[in-house]
């Protein structure tokens, strides 16, 4: 009996002639993510990725938990591999799931037979193994409708596999399979969630944070670095770009009408993000905006904000309620850090009465006193880069 991990592919199975590209990316991401836990043989066959330990010192518990954060798989199972004969499969189920049987009051057996040369049908194997298990554990009743324990049997090309209920996988597409994008990462609740959601769609993320010292503290910067580290198990290795934003905000404060402070600030962030994106071969800019949530996130404001760039601006949270965003932040583990009381630059020089439905011509007139190109170049020249890896 060999303890391995099985990951069932999600959307990848819908791909055509390019499917192998996505599978290879998933295997590559898994290999990187599981490196701290030992040496593994990782390969994909029949819409399933197999993770087999190559030495007895592998941390299978750690590898299993890490595998659940790798995008591209919809389920992850700790599994026992055995020979492809009915008695070996029964012996493996009896031994491997003994603890589960001690806790269960009822069970059933489900079988998938990918290897059609196996002499029993799926139903026959389920009945055979289920009958022997019922004799072995007479205190556990057979219940094919609502059992406490489901014994999963899979007969595949290389071996048979036994496991209980699979754990939920990360889903989505393998990171890096759908290109790269810059993601504006503040210290709030929303932007870590939007970053995570785009990584789930197979996007390699370059996070960008705008830092306005001394109006925001070093603790605020450390908070964002902590958020990036919390995201790295899902997003993979990232280069966090920390952009000095103080001079730009002071220029906006000194030379622009107060009601346009926020929208002009957002336009500068978008311009700078596009420059970083183009320099890194990215195809889009990601923001944590949700329609109508604040004054700068009306349709009119978002249209004016993105007018100054040519790259698409992706807003994965645009139709989500705040409660939905908070729930997602809790699920991915960023919420507690996001609510730490260290404010980011978005709270600096906040106008008392922001314009909620700005017109492009009025905004362009309001920012006309600013030397936009010089300010953008100055900010780009002062970027601090932090490598985030898991």
pLDDT on residue 350: 79
Q: Is the pLDDT of residue 135 over 70?
A: yes
93, part of any domain: yes
Band of pLDDT at residue 321, cut at 50, 70 and 90: very high
Q: Above pLDDT 90, what percent of the chain?
A: 87
State whether 107 and 195 are in the same domain.
Answer: no
Q: Is the pLDDT of residue 104 over 70?
A: yes
State whether 132 and 274 are in the same domain.
Answer: no
Q: What is the pLDDT of residues 54-98, one digit of tens each?
A: 998 999 999 999 999 999 999 999 999 999 999 999 999 999 999
State whether 260 and 311 are in the same domain.
Answer: yes
Band of pLDDT at residue 26, cut at 50, 70 and 90: very high
271, part of any domain: yes
Q: What is the pLDDT of residues 4-21, one digit of tens each?
A: 999 999 999 989 889 999
pTM of the model: 0.91
CATH code assigned at 64: 3.30.70.1510
Let me know if 205 is exposed, middle or buried by CB neighbors in 10 A (0-12, 13-18, 19+): buried
State whether 145 and 283 are in the same domain.
Answer: no
Band of pLDDT at residue 1, cut at 50, 70 and 90: low
CA distance 262 to 155: 60
Q: What share of the chain is helix, strand, coil (3-state, %, to 5)?
A: 45, 20, 35
Band of pLDDT at residue 174, cut at 50, 70 and 90: very high
The mean predicted confidence, pLDDT, of the chain is 94
CA distance 129 to 132: 5
Q: What is the pLDDT of residues 230-254, one digit of tens each?
A: 999 999 999 999 999 999 999 999 9
State whether 314 and 258 are in the same domain.
Answer: yes
State whether 78 and 92 are in the same domain.
Answer: no
307, part of any domain: yes
173, part of any domain: no
State whether 14 and 124 are in the same domain.
Answer: no
Q: What is the pLDDT of residues 209-236, one digit of tens each?
A: 999 998 888 999 999 999 999 999 999 9
State whether 57 and 127 are in the same domain.
Answer: no
State whether 50 and 116 are in the same domain.
Answer: no
Q: How many domains does the chain have?
A: 3
169, part of any domain: no
193, part of any domain: yes
Which residue reads 């006309």 in tokens? 368
140, part of any domain: yes
pLDDT on residue 165: 86
Q: Domain span at residue 7?
A: 1-83
CA distance 205 to 60: 28
State whether 27 and 110 are in the same domain.
Answer: no
Any idea what the Cα angle at residue 36 is, between residues 30 and 42, rounded to 5°? 30
CATH code assigned at 209: 3.40.50.620
Last residue of a domain, which of 46, 63, 83? Answer: 83
Last residue of a domain, which of 31, 65, 83? Answer: 83
C-alpha separations of 184 from 81, 237, 242, 337 in Å: 44, 16, 10, 17
State whether 238 and 300 are in the same domain.
Answer: yes
CA distance 98 to 104: 10
**What are the two backbone dihedrals, phi and then psi, of residue 125, each rounded to the nearest 5 degrees?**
-65, -40
DSSP string, 91-154: HHHHHHTHHHHHH-SEEEEEEEE--TTSSS-HHHHHHHHHHHHHHH-TTSEE-SSS-SEEEEEE
CA distance 109 to 332: 33
Among candidates 45, 74, 8, which has minimal Cα distance to 159?
A: 45
Among positive and negative, which fits the CA dihedral 222, 228, 233, 236?
Answer: negative
Q: Is the pLDDT of residue 345 over 80?
A: no
Last residue of a domain, which of 34, 51, 83? Answer: 83
State whether 259 and 232 are in the same domain.
Answer: yes
User: How is residue 2 annotated by DSSP?
Assistant: E
Q: What is the pLDDT of residues 263-316, one digit of tens each?
A: 999 999 999 999 999 999 999 999 999 999 888 899 999 999 999 999 999 999
Q: Is the pLDDT of residue 348 over 90?
A: no
Instruction: Compute the average pLDDT of residues 182-203.
Output: 97
Count Cα atoms within 13 angstroms, Cβ side, for 278. 10
CA distance 331 to 109: 31
Band of pLDDT at residue 353, cut at 50, 70 and 90: confident
pLDDT on residue 139: 96
CATH code assigned at 150: 3.30.2130.30
């Amino acid at each position: 009996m060999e303890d391995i991990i099985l990951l069932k592919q999600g959307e990848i199975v819908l791909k055509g002639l390019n499917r192998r590209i996505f599978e290879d990316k998933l295997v590559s991401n898994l290999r990187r993510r599981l490196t701290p836990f030992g040496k593994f043989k990782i390969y994909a066959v029949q819409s399933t990725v197999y993770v087999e330990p190559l030495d007895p010192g592998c941390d299978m518990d750690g590898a299993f938990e890490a595998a659940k954060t790798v995008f591209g798989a919809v389920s992850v199972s700790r599994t026992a591999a055995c020979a492809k004969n009915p008695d070996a499969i029964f012996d493996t189920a009896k031994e491997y799931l003994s603890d589960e049987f001690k806790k269960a009051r009822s069970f059933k057996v489900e079988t998938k037979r990918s290897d059609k040369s196996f002499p029993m049908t799926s139903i026959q194997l389920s009945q055979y193994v289920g009958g022997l298990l019922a004799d072995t554990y007479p205190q556990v009743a057979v219940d094919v409708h609502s059992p406490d324990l489901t014994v999963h049997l899979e007969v595949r090309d290389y071996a048979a596999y036994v496991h209980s209920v699979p754990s939920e996988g990360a889903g989505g597409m393998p990171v890096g399979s759908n290109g790269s994008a810059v993601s504006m990462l503040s210290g709030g609740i929303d932007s870590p969630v939007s970053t995570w959601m785009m990584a789930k769609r197979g996007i390699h993320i370059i996070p960008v944070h705008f830092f306005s010292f001394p109006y925001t503290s070093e603790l605020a910067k450390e908070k964002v670095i902590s958020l990036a580290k919390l995201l790295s198990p899902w997003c993979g290795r990232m280069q966090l770009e920390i952009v000095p934003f103080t001079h730009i905000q002071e220029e906006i404060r000194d030379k622009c009408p107060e009601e346009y402070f926020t929208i002009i600030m957002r336009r500068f962030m978008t311009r700078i993000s596009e420059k970083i994106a183009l320099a890194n071969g990215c195809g889009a800019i990601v923001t944590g905006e949700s329609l109508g949530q604040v004054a700068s996130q009306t349709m009119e404001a978002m249209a004016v904000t993105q007018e100054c760039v040519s790259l698409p601006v992706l807003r994965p949270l645009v139709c989500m309620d705040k409660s939905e965003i908070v729930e997602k932040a809790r699920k991915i583990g960023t919420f507690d850090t996001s609510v730490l009381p260290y404010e980011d630059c978005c709270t600096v020089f906040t106008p008392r009465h922001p314009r909620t439905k700005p017109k492009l011509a009025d905004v362009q007139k309001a920012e006309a006193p600013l030397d936009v190109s010089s300010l953008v170049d100055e900010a780009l020249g002062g970027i601090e880069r932090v490598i985030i890896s898991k």
